[in-house]
Amino acid sequence: MWRRPGTIIRRWSVTWVIVTGLVVRLLNPGQVAAVRKQQGNRRRKTDWLDAAAIYALLARGEGSPVHLDASPAATLRPLWSGRKDLVDARGRLRQQAGALVDCLWPGFSATDQRAGVVPVLSSPFDTKAGRVVVGLLAEGWTPARVAATSVAGLRAIFAARGCRLSRPLAGRLIGRAEAALGAHPAATAGKAATLAALLGALAALDGQIAGLEAKMAPLLAATQGAKLTQIRGVATVAAAGFVAFVGHTGRWSEWSKVWRAAGLDPARSQSGATDASYGISREGSAWGGGRSWTWPPAFAVSPDASTTATRLACATASTPRWRWPPWATRSDGPALP
């Protein structure tokens, strides 16, 4: 079984192939393209040429084997990977929304240590007051309108939106609005509507992320990593990610391999007599880049790309049942039947 690069592997199809007795291996599309170029097909790409490159990779033992695993740890893996992709997308949208906020309110997040200028709010998205300010800008408010509002009036506006604004903070907001540079109307045209659309997308992402985290909690409680949340600073998401990609302790002969697979081992730089160790390497293979994959046989989440966050490009069976055409370039390896 093979899927074109960029397509989504449906977990039910992989499950069916494994149940029928075939061995499934996952190949990186970049590896397939590199082998195809090595075979002299840099500017040609067909299904037959891709199949020849895939066979060359399988002949040398490449590819990550896929195993069925109905354990809670295996079910946590697509949830954790999907949440990570959603969080990354949320971060990119926040950067775009922050640029629009600076355009609508010049100097709102300005920082100048030498001049003693610091942001009024630590974050426009991680604080309740910041989200209210961003919401007001999306509704068409301008710094001049904020500056013309009294402290009591601004506190009442925030209270109506579920935020208790202190008097000192209200005064600082009004002061920053009074000192803001006037934006040209042409520079802010349509920015408020765009910001409102981005806020709607961010709200949808927050809901999806919260839903995935709610699914992680009961699954984590049924694994060996349930006690990890008792460590200070380790919450459900961090513990679920560790359990999902490290798996059961019986997989590892010694715990030093676990730290290396998780990327927690110290980075090393050795040359001659010099042998220095630095901070954690963050280059482990356990967090989604391992050589062996285990998929739950049942659907843990929807097989949509936005939630399962499938990073795989092709799945192949170890027993190909076709013959290569005479013009397909082969690499050194066992002859096909």
Please tell me the pTM assigned to this model.
Answer: 0.64
Residue 9: pLDDT band by 50, 70, 90 thresholds? very low
> Is 214 a residue whose pLDDT tops 90?
yes
Predicted local confidence at residue 71, as pLDDT: 79
pLDDT tens digits, 119-163: 888 888 889 999 999 999 999 999 999 999 999 999 999 999 999
pLDDT tens digits, 318-333: 333 333 334 333 334 3
**More confident position, 68 or 35:** 35
Instruction: Report how far apart, in Å, the C-alpha atoms of 110 and of each of 116, 140, 147 are.
Output: 10, 21, 17
pLDDT tens digits, 44-98: 888 889 889 888 888 888 887 766 667 788 888 888 888 999 999 999 999 999 9
Domain locations in the chain as residue ranges: 1-70+303-337, 107-182
The candidate with the shortest Cα–Cα distance to 332, out of 27, 57, 24, 62, is: 57
Strands (E), the chain: 24-27, 64-68, 266-271, 274-280, 293-295, 314-317
Count Cβ neighbours within 10 Å for each residue of 157-169 and write b for 16 or more, e otherwise.
bbeeeebebeeeb
What integer is the mean pLDDT of 164-185? 88
Torsion from C-alpha of 309, 311, 317, 321, nearest 10 degrees:
100
Mean pLDDT, the chain, rounded, equals 77
What's the token pair of residue 106?
């010049």
**More confident position, 17 or 61:** 61
Q: Is the Cβ–Cβ distance between 11 and 303 less than 8 Å?
A: yes
> Is 289 a residue whose pLDDT tops 90?
no
Q: How many CB atoms lie within 10 A of CB 4?
A: 10
Measured CA to CA, the distance from residue 199 to residue 194 in angstroms comes to 9
pLDDT tens digits, 193-211: 999 999 999 999 999 999 9
Predicted local confidence at residue 15, as pLDDT: 53
Predicted local confidence at residue 67, as pLDDT: 64
Predicted local confidence at residue 274, as pLDDT: 86
What's the token pair of residue 89?
């997308």
Measured CA to CA, the distance from residue 314 to residue 192 in angstroms comes to 43
> Is 242 a residue whose pLDDT tops 70?
yes
> Is 188 a residue whose pLDDT tops 50?
yes
Q: Is the Cβ–Cβ distance between 66 and 318 less than 8 Å?
A: no
Residue 285: pLDDT band by 50, 70, 90 thresholds? low
What's the token pair of residue 123?
């974050």
Q: Parallel, antiparallel, or unpaired: how do β-strands 64-68 and 266-271 relate?
A: unpaired
- Percent share of the chain, pLDDT over 90: 27
Measured CA to CA, the distance from residue 61 to residue 222 in angstroms comes to 35
Q: Is the Cβ–Cβ distance between 73 and 223 less than 8 Å?
A: yes
Instruction: Report how far apart, in Å, the C-alpha atoms of 197 and of each of 60, 109, 187, 204 are.
Output: 50, 21, 18, 11
Angle (nearest 5°) at CA 46 between 45 and 48? 130
pLDDT tens digits, 292-301: 444 454 433 3
Predicted local confidence at residue 321, as pLDDT: 36
CA 153 centroid distance within chain = 41
Instruction: Point out which residues pair with 280 in neighbouring strands.
Output: 266
What's the token pair of residue 315?
């799945």
Kindly tell me the sign of the dihedral angle through the C-alpha atoms of 55, 59, 63, 65: positive
Count Cβ neighbours within 10 Å for each residue of 62-93 and write b for 16 or more, e otherwise.
bbeebebbeebbbbbbbbbbbbbbbeebbeeb
> Is 3 a residue whose pLDDT tops 70?
no
Predicted local confidence at residue 301, as pLDDT: 36
> Is 224 a residue whose pLDDT tops 50?
yes
Q: Is the Cβ–Cβ distance between 305 and 313 less than 8 Å?
A: no
| Max mean pLDDT range (14-18, 103-107, 311-315) | 103-107
